[in-house]
Amino acid sequence: MRKLMYSLSELWEDPKFKYSSIVLGLLIFISILSYFSPYDPYKWYLLPTNQPPSLRHILGTDGKGQDIFWVLSFSLRNSLMLAVVAAVVSRVIALLVGILSGYLGGAVDRLLMALTDTFIVMPVFPLLLLLSSLIKNYLTPPVLGLIVGVFSWSGDARVVRSMVLSLREREFMITSKFSGMTVKEVIVGDLIPYLLPIISGGFIGSMMGAIGFEVVLSILGFVRVETPTLGSMFHWMINFQAMLLGYWWWVLTPIVTAILLFTALYTLSLSVNEYLDPRTRVQRIVVVK
């Protein structure tokens, strides 16, 4: 815990990290506010439609008679939840497959890698489209996250495997063995520190992928657009032709939010990856002391 705090304080020195964590913090804060929302996001025409921003409705209202700020709050909550589910699922599978494959080798390795290769050649996008259109009514944000996660682990599983393969040849693995360490201790203590950059970078990457994918599906109308998500905001905004009618507050809200969210995630991954690079991290251990 103390170490984590220390790392955070070190990372804070990086302007990239500062920017991204402030923006993400703000967006997460807004999404938490949804629990205190005065409105039901599924009810339409509770308010006068298409009102520009005012003190009562700080981001105005949309053509469905909903307060845009509170819709945004629900949308962020759902989109972030979906993103985290997708990221966790894909990381867990990638790590599991990669480590098992690289560490055990032999037949297990061949079997798992055959599976991985298949997922690499799979046309993920059309397939997901097909799948989501088939089960549209079951597609709550976490389910969609789960599906995206299941289809987006293969590339990183290969990277993890090749890293584990090269780590397995390192002398310190033999030392661990002769120090009586268990397989679990070896994985946690010897492998994970080297895999951290790929885990964290991949986590943020698949979050971005999942949010983006949901937006695409929503714009195309392949998910239940009644559920408030970042994508459904785009969907209704386009459907009600807010752009042509000049309701700029309705148009800009999802666009600005999406750009903020994506740039923040992107800079966060850049900054964290730089920080976790094993080469500099090893040197830092001494300098810090």
Binding positions for another protein, rule: CB under 8 A? 10, 13-14, 114, 117-118, 120-127, 129-131, 133-135, 138, 170-172, 174-181, 185, 189-190, 193-194, 208, 212, 215-216, 219-222, 234, 243, 255, 258-259, 262-263, 265-267, 278, 280-289
Cα–Cα dist 119/126, whole Å: 13
Cβ 259 to another protein shortest distance, Å: 6
Give me the DSSP letters along 164-225: HHHHHTSHHHHHHHHTT--HHHHIIIIIHHHHHHHHHHHHHHHHHHHHHHHHHHHHHT-S-T
Report the residue number, 55 or 121, with the smaller CB distance to another protein: 121
Number of residues that this document lists for the chain = 289
Cβ 79 to another protein shortest distance, Å: 12
Report the residue number, 29 or 172, with the smaller CB distance to another protein: 172
Token output for 135: 């089960």
Report the residue number, 203 or 222, with the smaller CB distance to another protein: 222
Cβ 157 to another protein shortest distance, Å: 15
Report the residue number, 36 or 178, with the smaller CB distance to another protein: 178
Residue 207 · residue 86 · CB < 8 Å: yes
Report the residue number, 39 or 194, with the smaller CB distance to another protein: 194
Which amino acid type is present at position 289?
K
Cβ 289 to another protein shortest distance, Å: 7
Residue 249 · residue 62 · CB < 8 Å: no
Cα–Cα dist 68/56, whole Å: 11
Cβ 136 to another protein shortest distance, Å: 8
**Cα dist from 97 to 87, 88, 114, 117, 246, whole Å:** 15, 14, 11, 12, 50
Cβ 44 to another protein shortest distance, Å: 23
Cβ 56 to another protein shortest distance, Å: 29
∠ CA 46-48-52, rounded to 5° = 125
Report the residue number, 65 or 221, with the smaller CB distance to another protein: 221
Closest CA relative to residue 213, chosen from 90, 129, 92, 150: 129
Report the residue number, 92 or 188, with the smaller CB distance to another protein: 188
